[in-house]
Structure 1
Amino acid sequence: MIDMVEKEDAIISEEEAAQYDRQIRLWGLDAQKRLRGSRVLLVGLGGLGAEVAKNLILAGVKGLTLLDHELVTEESCRAQFLIPVDALGQNRAQASLERAQFLNPMVEVEADTDKAEDKPDDFFLKFNAVCLTHCSRDFMVRVDQLCAPKNIKVFCGDVFGYHGYMFADLGQEHQYVEEKPKVVKQSEDANDGPEAKKPKVDPNETTMVKKTASFCSLKEALEVDWMGGKAKTNFKNIPVGYFLLQVLLKFRTDKGRDPQPDSYTEDSGLLLQMREDVLEAMGVSIDLLPPNFVSYCFSEMSPVCAVVGGVLGQEIVKALSQRDAPHRNFFFFDGLKGSGVVDYFSNK
């Protein structure tokens, strides 16, 4: 992906340099060039999708495709800010297009009203990164297995009430650079003694260090055997959000939708039953996920969308610009505790 991105639109115009001046000062011209040459597919224009779209457009990617076949509802208008209040009944991607484009005219933003699951495999291979929100488990695994071998970065995310998550698969060899304090070697004329022989770190000077990170697939991350090997050793560190995600993805698969507030009683009972079925099938105690979780996982909450969308957008920008160390692989947010959890899944 490095060569492909850098060859496209290698020169940034004076207008773009002025537009992205603060970002170029923050992460450098080379990183901005890589962003400027990247095309991203965003699936799902709910509250989380709108936050991700905003962050990518303002960062200055080459192009962003908004893919969503669903229609605008009252909940859509409450959860996301790109849809006008008079757009009820319209397609969500189309209704979000005008305000999204207005954020940054230099980014090519387009709307696609097709159903993501109906798209052929080669459609997803046209992008440098794919971000999937509000998608089924099987579809996310399909896209991840399709894109990863082609070095296309894959991100997944959702918000369920007070809870949210992000997953990233950047492939087996994701290259990036980090800024580190420069180590200054001592001259031969330095005074003798142990202290004089030690290299000195100059906090006022930095150097760019190239690094490589390896990521596991979504399928591997969701199908961990917690009863054996390294996973069993790390089990106590796994956040509750991981098991909550497994239950909610099961609900989405079985019911073809997420839990709804207008069917709270029925859906709460289904969630509790699925909690028991899913965790027992995983070989772990159902006590890992307290039964009161059903009170906090209905609908998209705008503040949670903002937090998770900020992290998700940031990670996509970091991956495409190849600047700074990425999270590996999950980020979980618990709005009740106001905290996020990262890096419990790394390479295989």
Structure 2
Amino acid sequence: MSHLKMRVMDKSSEKITEDEAALYDRQIRLWGLDAQKRLRGARILVAGVCGMGAEVTKNLVLAGVKSVVLLDHRDLTQNDTFSNFLAPPDAIGQNVAMASEERAQVLNPMVDVVADPSNIEEKTEEFFKDFDVVFVSRCKREQLVKINNICRSNKILFLAGDVFGQVGYMFSDFMDHSYADEVKEKVEVPGQDQPVEETKIVRRVESFVPITQALEVDWTSPEYNKRLKRTSPSYFIMQVLMEFVSLYGRTPDPTKRDADIVELLTIKNALLDKLSIPPEKVKNDFAEFVFGQLSPVCAILGGVTAQEIIKAVSQKDAPLKNFFFFNTVEGVGIVESIGV
């Protein structure tokens, strides 16, 4: 039996108190007591307490996980308060994780919420071993790769995501993930003229890939060249933004809008040329819509991310594999399976 299966099975033995049963009554009816027990035992790391991170935190705390650690070394800015509803405006200048802790805790006193003002770059592998799920945002690409590799080595569920203005993404790596799925089938019943529909629970396994494999696809290969036309431009926009963050250590800045647009287009042209992709695959106007974090986009991406964490921890229902993109400019939310 794998370490991951042992880890998840252990969580199903968590005790639910009478107060918790009353508080979580509706969701226990929705996904069952065993699933709620697994959630009750889940230790979550939210690294990057931005607008999307706040939404992920809110949904998981309300769902009733065991604990959530908010990790972020940055100080709260006025721009942060436009999307991070956990941090009060009067806390500008304070550490964003510390400023967000109190409101997150008030959402559900039965969940342990802890703020960590450290820099994620300083964290060792031992630190991540204390978690069952790691969600990372506002990080450089090389940091995402490093943390994903640590999570894989220790059988920890890994997700990454970010929001840039009107576009955003979520990536998940659940390794070899086993889950229960409901299947409806027709069954012949003696004495009945027509078959009766029954719901059957079946176990399925989905295999995921690390983020490096999902980002380093060969688009000149027959398989992916054939898929290029129907692949969302958001995938390549995400890569451009990752490269921008890696180069400058920040996201596109509204106060440096004109200069950042020029740099984004330069990165875009170089990236698509490197990948042997026609430049028209990504329209140049994308660079006008990637500043700040819009609250509605954070809400959607944060909701989808929390949903995937809940499904993975509870082992209920098929996961989204392995990217979810939301783009208000194109008016689409789309799942892409890339590198798998």
TM range, smaller chain:
over 0.9
**What is the Cα deviation at residue 256 of structure 1?**
1.1
1:216 aligns with 2:170: no
CA separation in 2, counterparts of 1:275 and 1:25? 48
* SS of equivalent to 1:86: helix
**Aligned twin of 1:316:** 309
**Aligned twin of 1:51:** 55
1:267 aligns with 2:267: no
**Aligned twin of 1:325:** 318
Q: How does 1:7-18 map to 2 (within 5 A)?
A: 7-8=10-11, 10-18=14-22
TM-score by length of 2: 0.95
Tell me, which stretches of 5 or more residues in structure 1 are unaligned?
none
* SS of equivalent to 2:55: helix
CA separation in 2, counterparts of 1:41 and 1:327? 20
**What is the Cα deviation at residue 339 of structure 1?**
1.7
Amino acid at match of 1:271: L
**Aligned twin of 2:87:** 83
CA separation in 1, counterparts of 2:15 and 2:122? 36
**What is the Cα deviation at residue 190 of structure 1?**
7.5
Runs of 4+ in 1 over 3 A off after TM superposition: none
**Aligned twin of 1:180:** 183
**Aligned twin of 2:227:** 234
* Identical amino acids, percent of aligned pairs: 44
**Aligned twin of 2:43:** 39
Q: How does 1:44-193 map to 2 (within 5 A)?
A: 44-171=48-175, 173-187=176-190
**What is the Cα deviation at residue 270 of structure 1?**
0.6
**Aligned twin of 1:277:** 270
* SS of equivalent to 1:270: helix
CA separation in 2, counterparts of 1:41 and 1:248? 23
**Aligned twin of 1:23:** 27
RMSD over equivalenced CA pairs, Å: 1.5
Q: Residue 90 and residue 230 in structure 1: after superposition, are their counterparts in 2 closer, same or farther (change >3 A)? A: same
* SS of equivalent to 2:325: strand
Tell me, which stretches of 5 or more residues in structure 2 are unaligned?
none
CA separation in 1, counterparts of 2:97 and 2:262? 33
**What is the Cα deviation at residue 267 of structure 1?**
0.6
**Aligned twin of 2:287:** 294
1:258-311: CA deviation from partner (whole Å, max 9, x where unpaired)? 110101111111111111111111111111111111111111111110111111
